[in-house]
Amino acid sequence: ELNNYLAQMEDRKCEIAKLQACERSLYANFQMSLGENNEFASFLTEVLEKKTKCMGKKEAGREAGEEDENEEKDEESTLGTDEEKSGSEDEVFDDSVCPKNCDEALFQNTIQLRQKLLDIKEALAEEKKVAANLRKKYNALAEKAKVVETNLETAEKELETFLWEKQQRMNELYVAVPLKLHQVEYLVDGEMPSDLSQALVFSNQTLEYLQKRISELRDEKRMQREIYKKAQKHYKQLVQDKKEMEIKIQQLEMKCNDLMVKKFGQLVDFEAVQTHSGSIRMEELQLQIMEKEYTHSQELRKWEERILALRQQLMKLTKENTTKLQQLNQFCLEKQQLETKMASL
C-alpha cells in the first residue's frame, strides 16, 4: 500500500510538472504575442493575471407568468445595484473593453490565454491539494508501518527467546531411545577398526543381558496387560455391585418409609428428633441450674438478713457498752473527788 501511495505521489508530481511547464509555455507565448516595446504590455499583463470567478448558469423556466415577471424585475433591480456597485471599479480597471489603439486580436488572444491560465492554475491547485493529501496519508501509513515493524521485531525477539528456553528445557529431559544392534555397530568397511578410542565397547555378558532384558520386558508387558484386564473386569463388577446396592438401598428406604408411616402416621426426620431431644436435655439442665440459682439466692438473702440483724445487735450492744463505760468513768471521777475530800478532813 505504501508503494501504491508512492506511485500516486509520483504521478501527481509528473502532472504538477506538466502543468507548470504549460504555465511557463503560456507565459512565453504571451510574451511572444506582445512583441517588443508594446505600449499596452502592462495593461494586457494585468488582464492576463486578473482572477475571475466562473459564474454558474441559472435554471430557466418558471411556473406562472406573473411570478416570472416579478422575478425578472427582481433580477433587473439586483443587476442594477451590482452595476452601480462595480461602476467605480470598472472606472479603475475594465478588462472587458479593448482600449483604443490596441490590437483587438491581441486583446482577445490575451482573454483566451487568461482563461487557459486560470484553468491551468485551478488544475495545478487541485493537483497540489491531492498531492498534499497523499503525502499526509503516506506519512500516517508510514508511522503505522513503523509501529507495526517495531511490534513485529519485539514479537520475533520474544518468540526467539521462548523457543530458546523451550529448547533448553527439552534438552534437560531424559529420553529413552530404542536402538537396534546394527545401528550402534562401529565398523569400517564391514570390519572392526584397529583404533577403538572413538568406540564404546560392550562385553558379551552385557549384550546378552540386554537381549535377555528385551524378553523380560515383553513378559512384563504381557503381565501388565493381564493385570489391566483383570482390573477392568473388577471395575465392571464393582460398578454392577454399586448399582445393585443402590437399588437395595432404595428398596430399604421405601420399606422404612412405609413402616414409619404405619407407626407414626407420617415421615419423621430422626436426625431432627435427635437434635430436638438433645435440646430438651439442655433445657432441663438450664432449668435445674435456674432452680439451684434461685435456691442459692434465697439462702444468700437469708444469710444477708441474719448478718444485718447481728450487725444491728452488735451496734446496740456497742452503744450500751459505751454508755456503761461513760457511767463507770463518771463513778470513778466521783470516787476520786470523795477520796480527796476525805483526805482533806
Q: What count of other Cβ atoms lies within 10 Å of the Cβ of residue 40?
A: 18
Phi, psi of 191 (to 5 degrees): -125, 160
- What does the mean pLDDT of the chain come to? 76
Contact 41, 170 (CB under 8 A): no
Q: Which of 75-79, 116-120, 212-216 has the lowest mean pLDDT?
A: 75-79
In the block, which residue shows the cell 518468540? 159
Please give the grid coordinates belonging to residue 193.
Answer: 577398526
Contact criterion met (CB below 8 Å) for 8 and 134? yes
* Residues β-bridged to residue 191: 188
Q: Could you tell me the pLDDT band of residue 41, with boundaries at 50, 70 and 90? A: low
pLDDT tens digits for range 101-119:
565 666 666 666 777 777 7
* pLDDT greater at residue 318 or residue 64: 318
Please name the residue that has the C-alpha cell 509555455.
25
| pLDDT interval class at 308 (50, 70, 90) | very high
Please state, as a whole number, how many other Cβ atoms lie within 10 Å of the Cβ of residue 128: 14
228 pLDDT more than 80: yes
Structure confidence at residue 14 (pLDDT)? 80
| Mean pLDDT across 40-45 | 65
- Please say if the pLDDT value at position 236 is more than 90: yes
pLDDT given for residue 68 in this prediction: 43
The torsion of the CA quartet 280, 285, 290, 294, rounded to 10 degrees, works out to 130
Helix/strand/coil for 188: strand
- Judged by DSSP in three states, 191 sits in strand
What is the radius of gyration, based on Cα positions, of the chain?
A: 65
Cross-strand bridge partners of residue 188: 191
Average the pLDDT over 301-320 and give the result: 91
C-alpha cell at position 66: 406573473
pLDDT, average across residues 78-99: 46
- DSSP assignment of 49-65 equals H---PPPPPPPP--SSH
Residue bearing the bigger pLDDT, 234 or 204? 234
Q: What is the pLDDT of residue 133?
A: 84
Q: Is 70 exceeded by the pLDDT of residue 61?
A: no
Q: Which residues pair with 198 in a beta bridge?
A: none
Q: What is the number of other CB atoms lying within 10 angstroms of the CB of residue 291? A: 10
What integer pLDDT is reported at residue 257 of this predicted model?
Answer: 86
Q: 118-122, 146-150, 298-302, 329-333: lowest mean pLDDT where?
A: 118-122
Tell whether the torsion through CA atoms of 87, 93, 99 and 100 is positive or negative.
positive
Give the separation between CA 203 and CA 109, rounded to whole angstroms: 114
pLDDT in tens, 111-166: 667 777 777 778 778 878 888 887 888 788 888 888 888 899 999 999 999 999 99
The dihedral formed by the CA atoms of 294, 300, 304 and 307, expressed in degrees to the nearest 10: 150
Q: Which residue has the cell 424585475?
A: 73
Query: Element (H or E) spanning 228, and its range?
Result: helix 204-264
d(CA 133, CA 146): 20
- 44: number of Cβ within 10 Å: 24
Q: What is the pLDDT of residue 280?
A: 66
| Residue 153 vs residue 200, higher pLDDT | 153
As a whole number of angstroms, the distance between CA 187 and CA 160 comes to 40
How high is the pLDDT of residue 33? 65
What confidence tier does 34 reach under pLDDT thresholds 50, 70, 90? low
Query: Model confidence at 258, in pLDDT bands (50, 70, 90)?
Result: confident
Q: Which residues contact 186 (CB under 8 A, 6 or more apart)?
A: 192, 193, 196, 198, 199, 200
pLDDT(26) > 50: yes
Distance of CA 272 to the CA centre of its chain: 52
Distance CA 127, CA 135 (A): 12
Average pLDDT over residues 213-239: 93
289-308 mean pLDDT: 90
